[in-house]
Structure 1
Amino acid sequence: MTASGFKDHFSGVADAYAASRPEYADELFDLIAARVPHEARVWEPGCGSGQATRGLAMRFAHVHATDPSAQQIAQHWAHSGAANVSVAVEPGERTALADASVQLVAVAQALHWFDRDAFFAECDRVLKPGGLLAAWGYGDFIAPEGMVDAVEDFRALIDPYWPPERVLVDTHYAGFAWPFPALPAPSLWLEAEWTLPHFLRYLSSMSATARCRADTGADPVARHAPALAAAWGEAEELRTIRWPLFLHLRRKP
């Protein structure tokens, strides 16, 4: 995701992204905080609208959250008033941060969009010796009970529109040429309790949904909403949505 070749799949759905993406569990941030001092300065490239920034800001002295999308930065959570967060429109491969200025680089559901060689070189530049690179992501959600058929019909419509980088998420970043040695990292789950309207907003925030809509001129969520609603039950009923979450921890020597 270089400055000149930024693959912008989310600016057009920035509002939906900010309003509908799931929140990360405290367990994830606590795992990272157990390996990084609380007084650490953090770089969070590919921050989007701040789904991970809040958890980082609660545990570390300062977070510099960056994203190449001005629309995403405009929606960022920190604008509501977070004294220890700075935000900037910057690509993942280049930041204004000084050499050896942070103790943690935290990348939430974004590494697959980066030019990894350039990004890993930037991590090596800005991380202090002993600093940590933490990168995580989550795959497709597990359909709630009774919704498998309706969800699979929706997925069949949008699946051809996923960008090729989606495969990197599905394989949990396997085979990446990581720049630093690995630390043990468990597999986790991401969970949300949502109503039907929230769930439909989440489906609308997917990059494949936006690409399908642009290509066909029809909204795939609107097309499948009646079947999804029938499988869901009462629209305001809370149902549990779960995503498998993977985490990579790499320590700079």
Structure 2
Amino acid sequence: MKDLFSEHSELYQQARPDYSAEIMQAILQHAPERHLAWDCGAGSGQLTKWLSPYFQSVLATDISAAQLAQAPPLKNVTCRTAGAEHSGLPDRSADLVTAAQAIHWFDFEAFYAEVRRVLKPDGCLAVIGYGLIEAQDPQLNQLIQALYFQTLKGYWDTERRYIDELYQTIPFPFLEQAVPSLSLQYRWSAQQLLNYFSTWSGLKHYVKQHRQSPLAPLETYFAAQPIALYAIQFPVLLRVGKLKPSSR
């Protein structure tokens, strides 16, 4: 599993989109017991904080100690620096395993083996993510598309393709459960948007190679606009699975 987000972990915690009550309800209907949840690849706790009110205890793991240090302190949450294949949990102890905007970085086979080991027979795995940001303003959306598909072409890690393919091409050897179509909708300022783009792994690779930011066209656009807040949305990627009978 790659660690691309330890550097500037505070910005990541501040700039990345949050999750939602709708996402939680779509997941929780498949998790009848609420004793223990394992949030794998938890980063700075964007999903962990949503799990906390519903479970007696939550384990948040990530390979980045810097990211975990940015997670909000919650009394029923334990943070542990660990890879996706090493939760440290007992067999059949977890009611829910989650991976939010993270599974595309995992060794699928090793992670799924750990999921099968730690899940209770009626527990479930929820894989959550969000796709490419979409702006309501056509000109802004065109600039975002140009940044993503043209300027940063060749700078994205190969794993990013799983996001572009809406997580539909990841291996998923579980009994798939029905989930609704969801999106995350916000109104963000220009600075919020620029901060978010600065967390992109492809942009980080670009800056490392060229020693300059590729955000100048967006900065020029924002400087010429009187708009205080921009309507944006992210398509939600969500797959929920139960253990197959042979895995129980």
Question: TM-score, normalized by length of structure 1?
Answer: 0.90
Query: What is the CA–CA distance in structure 2 between the aligned matches of 1:197 and 1:225, rounded to whole Å?
Result: 11
Which segment is superposed worse, 129-138 or 175-184?
175-184
Post-superposition offset of 1:153: 3.6
Q: CA deviation at 1:99?
A: 0.9
Query: CA offset at residue 38 of structure 1?
Result: 5.4
Offset of residue 138 of structure 1: 1.2
In the alignment, the residues of structure 1 paired with residue 56 and residue 225 of structure 2 have an alpha-carbon distance, to the nearest angstrom, of 42
Structure 1 residue runs without a partner (length 5+): 2-6
Structure-2 change in CA distance of 1:184 and 1:231 (3 Å):
farther
Unaligned 5+ residue runs, structure 2? none
Count of residue pairs the alignment pairs up: 242
Of the candidates 31, 36, 44, which is equivalent to residue 36 of structure 1? 31
CA distance in 2 between counterparts of 1:152 and 1:64 reads 36
Residue 31 of structure 2 contacts residue 96 of structure 2 at CA under 8 Å; is this kept in 1?
yes
In 2, are the aligned partners of 1:150 and 1:227 still within 8 Å (CA)? no
Pick one of 196, 204, 207 that aligns with 1:210: 204
Question: Once the 2 structures are TM-superposed, how far is the Cα of residue 163 of structure 1 from its aligned partner?
Answer: 0.6
CA distance in 2, matches of 1:38, 1:251: 13
Give the aligned residue type for 1:27.
E
Cα deviations by residue, 1:150-206 (Å, 9 ceiling, x for unpaired): 323433222321111111111122243323211111221012221111111101111
- 2:219 & 2:167 partners in 1: Cα distance? 35
SS at match of 1:107: strand
What is the Cα deviation at residue 149 of structure 1?
Answer: 3.3
User: Who is 1:9 aligned against?
Assistant: 4
Q: 1:74 to 1:153 in 2, by over 3 A?
A: same
Q: What does 1:9-158 align with in structure 2 at a 5 Å threshold?
A: 9-37=4-32, 39-77=34-72, 79=73, 82-145=74-137, 146-155=139-148, 156-158=150-152
- Are 1:243 and 2:234 counterparts? yes
Question: 1:248 deviation in Å?
Answer: 0.6
Q: TM-score, normalised by structure 2?
A: 0.92
Provide Cα deviations, 1:87-109, integer angstroms capped at 9, x if missing partner.
Answer: 01011111111111111001111
CA apart distance, 1:22: 0.7
Select 1:184's aligned residue among 178, 182, 206: 178
Q: One-letter code of the match for 1:215?
A: Q
- Looking at structure 2, the residues matched to 228 and 62 of structure 1 have their Cα atoms a distance apart, in angstroms, of 46
Taking only aligned residues, the RMSD between alpha carbons, in angstroms, comes to 1.6
Cα distance per residue 1:96-124 (max 9 Å; x no partner): 11111111001111111000000000000
Answer yes or no: is the 8 Å Cα contact 2:60–2:78 preserved in 1.
Answer: yes
Q: Which runs of 4+ in 1 moved over 4 A?
A: none
Structure 2 residue matching 1:197: 3-state secondary structure: helix
What is the SS of the residue equivalent to 1:160? coil
Cα displacement (A) at 1:225:
4.0
Identity across the alignment (%): 36
